[in-house]
Structure 1
């Protein structure tokens, strides 16, 4: 069993693997009462006025208590993060890290508008949105119940999340991820297609490329 688990983890691309392990570890730590969600949530006051900067990272690692919703969001995060890292960003770890970093920064800036203490789900939906827009001809089967075109996948997932949680707040968090995903998609794919260049904030800085040893 350990050999099979190790082989499965090794097969996952490095950035997705690191985030997956950290997310599962965080939820297990909460489940075992080693830490509490109150130590993980993000607010500008707690993070920057009360000098608890770890909250700006922890908010992206906690998918909630072990539940159907936890499995739902973690599965779609891993699936679409992995597919992005293995396709559009294959061999470009620095660019994928920069996508995650800039998306996380935008979500932190938007979070006060929605009063969202945890941003792991919106970040996962950012990746789902970007992947779906880059696969316009693909059709996706959702749990064997319905089939949708890839560009409509985020809308379908938001509806399922809303149904599972029974509250608009879950849908609002996922929709915020779609907004950030569209900002990245517009700043890269659309701008490249329309004007031949990307928005400056989507370009990976040289220092990040050197960190990951990607070619500039």
Structure 2
């Protein structure tokens, strides 16, 4: 049982595994803290905090295995770009707990890159994927939460989506979010040269030399016997 759980855990893409683990540990700490508050507040906090990691894991993994498949460096760079921009906006708005905003950002990018997927919300509402961030924001409003966090996540997600997917494809547009080379060195596996072709070998395991003449061990200047 433990081995199967470990194997399943290690099959999660690297970035999703690392970030989700950090969020789950943080959530666990929050749950321990809420036990010192009233029963109602504790139940509400537990429900809300558990829902966020589920959303995070689901859409983070779908992004990493989907449009960012084989592009780990680009995925990490999106994390950095979104985190820095969100932190700057959060400082101006006096917002310090931005985990939900980051999750909404991931949801937004995924939803815009999968516009034709049909979604169902608790079996009550059917809609296409691009409306998902707004549905989640409405759900937060029903729970009595401030929607400023959700709007921040949607805003940062839209900025990334526009700069990465929209603007480069416009007349006169160009790619502005270039992933630094150090990211590719650290996170992307080296790719083989598609033009590389190994030298053929004969049956004796002797490779052809660079001049295109097979080395047979016989002096090439020796004249053939008459």
TM-score by length of 1: 0.77
Please give the alpha-carbon distance, in whole angstroms, between the structure 2 residues aligned to 1:70 and 1:30.
8
Name the residue aligned to 2:185. 210
1:131 aligns with 2:106: no
Q: 1:133 to 1:192 in 2, by over 3 A?
A: same
User: 4+ runs of 1 displaced by more than 3 Å?
Assistant: 29-33, 213-216
Greater helix share, structure number: 1
Name the residue aligned to 1:197. 174
Q: 1:141 to 1:11 in 2, by over 3 A?
A: farther
Please give the alpha-carbon distance, in whole angstroms, between the structure 2 residues aligned to 1:193 and 1:25.
40
Name the residue aligned to 2:74. 95
The answer as to whether partners of 1:125 and 1:178 remain within 8 angstroms in 2 is: yes
Q: Secondary structure at the match of 1:116?
A: coil
Please give the alpha-carbon distance, in whole angstroms, between the structure 2 residues aligned to 1:6 and 1:142.
31
Name the residue aligned to 1:55. none
Q: Give the superposition deviation at 1:66.
A: 5.6
The answer as to whether partners of 2:27 and 2:50 remain within 8 angstroms in 1 is: no
Please give the alpha-carbon distance, in whole angstroms, between the structure 2 residues aligned to 1:137 and 1:151.
8
Larger Rg: 2
TM-score by length of 2: 0.74
Q: What do the CA deviations read for 1:147-179 (whole angstroms, capped 9, x no partner)? A: 111111110011012212x13x2x110110000
The answer as to whether partners of 1:27 and 1:66 remain within 8 angstroms in 2 is: no
Between 152-161 and 65-74, the greater mean CA deviation after superposition: 65-74
1:178 aligns with 2:159: no
Structure 1 unaligned spans of 5+ = 34-64
Structure 2 unaligned spans of 5+ = 34-43, 192-226
Matches within 5 A, 1:137-152: 137-152=116-131
1:112 aligns with 2:112: no
Name the residue aligned to 2:101. 122
1:73 aligns with 2:44: no
Q: What is the CA RMSD across the aligned residues, in angstroms? A: 1.9
The answer as to whether partners of 1:132 and 1:151 remain within 8 angstroms in 2 is: yes
Q: Give the superposition deviation at 1:7.
A: 2.9
Please give the alpha-carbon distance, in whole angstroms, between the structure 2 residues aligned to 1:211 and 1:131.
24
Please give the alpha-carbon distance, in whole angstroms, between the structure 1 residues aligned to 2:160 and 2:132.
17
